[in-house]
Amino acid sequence: TPPACGEPCPAAGVSQVTVRDALNQALDEELERDERVFLLGEEVAQYDGAYKISRGLWKKYGDKRVIDTPISEMGFTGIAVGAAMAGLRPVCEFMTFNFSMQAIDQVINSAAKTCYMSAGSIAVPIVFRGPNGASAGVAAQHSQCFAAWYGHCPGLKVVSPWSSEDAKGLLKASIRDDNPVVMLENELLYGVPFEMSEQAQSKDFVVPIGKAKIERQGTHVTLVSHSRPVGHCLEAAAVLAKEGVECEVINLRTIRPMDIETVEASVVKTNHLVTVEGGWPQFGVGAEICARIMEGSAFNYLDAPAVRVTGADVPMPYAKNLEDNCIPQVKDIIFAVKKTLNI
């Protein structure tokens, strides 16, 4: 029987789970599954995490598995990388990826390059995770998207979840991977609920690294995005559908290695491409996608130049009205689609 509100009943076994709870589930399950896994970072233990991602884990697993660190990213990231080299599987939380710049030498020079420099004899199975990109009202020094920075570096894998399913599946896959993985979450998504199937909530569920997901099928234009802007793309697609424009929305999920094959197959079908991201335009994720499409056979199927929708090419302002103008909005995506379709 449908509920009194008239809303459709969710499918059997499907429930609403926030991104925060999905990440918490993933950490809990992996800490339980493998005693080599441990979590460290600022406020992750007794305070339950700055964003409550690690809620309840310190009480359950104790001081050796969930470790509060001093406010020194360079220090605790170096400890985590050394632990990974010695055979443990650390999950290193940055309170925001903007602070990962304090530890970027450890992430790039120590973690990313060691497997290559040791001729494959030293693995560094570590996950660097935390919120990335713009939050709300935190200004220039706390609003940067690092997808292009970390996606630039061989030796790293880089994932960028949107939904709760992405968050749980990618975190579990990242913890189990024998390579260093950078997981770029979004603070504004932590409290957002998404539908999760019974399968996605099982302890065996993982999302393979390096595989994009088509969130919406379409025939007129391909929208490619990652993280929070995927939701904006789906909103724009819903608006455009009322005008007879069917958008295919691709959620990249992984920045490196990038699933360009899924994007190419979509472009061959739709003949139009729009990329959407919260980061800056120059040398960005969208720029890489456009270059890959131009260099491959899908270029011959484009009926118009690819269009990028990005954050504004300025440090993030503090004022809300200026901040809104610096972050891609649904109206910007709709404008870009109409531009590339010449309507």
| Banded model confidence at residue 200, pLDDT cuts 50, 70, 90 | very high
- Catalytic pick among 29, 42, 73, 185: 73
Pairing of strands 157-159, 66-68: unpaired
Q: Average the pLDDT over 260-269 and give the result.
A: 98
Same domain, 166 and 219: no
Contacts of 313 (CB under 8 A, 6+ apart): 280, 281, 282
- Catalytic pick among 142, 226, 232, 272: 142
Q: Is 9 part of any domain?
A: no
Task: Clarify whether 43 is annotated catalytic.
Answer: no
Q: Average the pLDDT over 69-92 and give the result.
A: 97
* Number of domains composing the chain: 2
Q: Average the pLDDT over 294-303 and give the result.
A: 96
Task: Clarify whether 152 is annotated catalytic.
Answer: no
Q: Is 156 part of any domain?
A: yes
The answer on pLDDT for 4 being more than 60 is no
Same domain, 63 and 174: yes
Same domain, 194 and 247: no
| Predicted pLDDT at 11 | 61
Same domain, 155 and 185: yes
Structural domain boundaries, residue 289: 213-341
C-alpha closest to that of 149 among 16, 271, 280, 240: 280
Q: Is 4 part of any domain?
A: no
Same domain, 175 and 272: no
CATH number at residue 225: 3.40.50.920
Instruction: Render pLDDT for 76-87 as a digit per residue (tens, 0 to 9).
Output: 999 999 999 999
Which DSSP helix (H) or strand (E) runs through 37? strand 37-41
Instruction: Render pLDDT for 127-148 as a digit per residue (tens, 0 to 9).
Output: 999 999 998 888 889 999 999 9
Same domain, 93 and 123: yes
Supply angle C-alpha 217, 220, 223, rounded to 5: 65
Same domain, 75 and 133: yes
Backbone Cα Rg of the chain: 20
- Under DSSP, the state recorded for 326 is H
Residue 78 and residue 114: Cα distance in Å, rounded?
Answer: 13
Same domain, 118 and 256: no
Same domain, 193 and 223: no
Structure tokens at 340: 């590339």
Residue 138 and residue 27: Cα distance in Å, rounded?
Answer: 27
CATH number at residue 40: 3.40.50.970
- The type of residue at 319 is A
Same domain, 81 and 173: yes
Identify the domain boundary among 174, 201, 228: 201
Residue 266 and residue 219: Cα distance in Å, rounded?
Answer: 8
Q: Please answer whether residues 51 and 20 qualify as being in contact, where contact means their C-beta atoms are separated by less than 8 angstroms.
A: yes
Supply angle C-alpha 96, 97, 103, rounded to 5: 115
Cis peptide before 90 (omega within 30 of 0): no
Q: Is 208 part of any domain?
A: no
Strand ordering across the sheet containing 89-93: 66-68, 37-41, 89-93, 127-131, 181-185, 157-159, 254-256
Between helix 260-270 and helix 285-295 the angle, nearest 10°, is: 70
